[in-house]
Copies of this chain bind each other. A is one copy, B any other.
Amino acid sequence: MAAKDASAESRKGQTGRRSAGKTTRGDGARSREEILAVATDEFAERGLAGARVDDIAERTRTSKRMIYYHFGSKEGLYKAVLERVYSQIRSVETQLDINNIPPIEAMRRIVELTFDYDESHPQFIRLVNVENVNRGQFVGKLVSIRKRYSNIIQLMQTVLDKGIANGQFRADVNAIDVRLVIGALCFFRVSNRYTFGALFDIDLADPQIRTRHRQMIVDAVLRFLRA
């Protein structure tokens, strides 16, 4: 009578491609990935409650049944989507060789990379929104993610420390605070695009405005940090 938890959930996408080919039978990893891509879109578009398993299945070359085979439940699928989307973030630290850049410049790059990522991944932003409306029920459990984020903070702290050391940055802020400020400014433009846009009659997606805001946010962060 009880719903047994899907043992399938633990399976990872390990199978590995078979030969080349037409996606005939028996490529679990591929169909898993296809389902995830579609589901990411649906959950981002309609939320956890609003997304329809049928619709996800329909947009896939696999069937609804396979969703349950691979992910156990709608919730399980949502978790997998969340995990995937968080782990796909091309993290700042991999794109930035801070050792060779002075701290102000490094910070500018961090802000720009964050800004650009958020602007070019509105779907990710929406999913984060969805998860926050759900009170972060699932994000807390994504252990794999935590580590990555602690790396981000370490990088930030390194840059901060260098700036403090050379007298360019103030000493009374910590990496998480800085991350909060940067995150807020970049995230909000995308996440609140619709309400802010409607209420203040402005199109935040407009390229010109975007460019201006990009500079403005870099500027705001640097002013915030200036010693």
Q: Say if the beta carbon of A98 comes within 8 Å of chain B.
A: no
Q: Say if the beta carbon of A81 comes within 8 Å of chain B.
A: no
Q: Say if the beta carbon of A102 comes within 8 Å of chain B.
A: no
- Which of B136, B193, B194, B226 contacts A198, CB < 8 Å? B136
Q: Say if the beta carbon of A46 comes within 8 Å of chain B.
A: yes
Query: What number of copies of this chain does the assembly contain?
Result: 4
How big is chain A's contact interface, by range?
Answer: 35 or more
The residue of chain B having its C-beta at the shortest distance from the C-beta of A125 within the complex is B132
Main secondary structure of the interface of A (DSSP, over half): helix
A177 & B216 in contact (Cβ 8 Å cutoff): yes
- Which of B46, B75, B129, B183 contacts A132, CB < 8 Å? B129
Interfacial residues, chain A to chain B (CB-CB below 8 A): 1, 7, 46-50, 58, 75, 126, 128-136, 139-140, 142, 145-146, 149-150, 153, 173, 176-177, 179-181, 183-185, 187-189, 191-202, 213, 216, 219-220, 223-224, 226
- Which of B46, B176, B197, B223 contacts A136, CB < 8 Å? B197
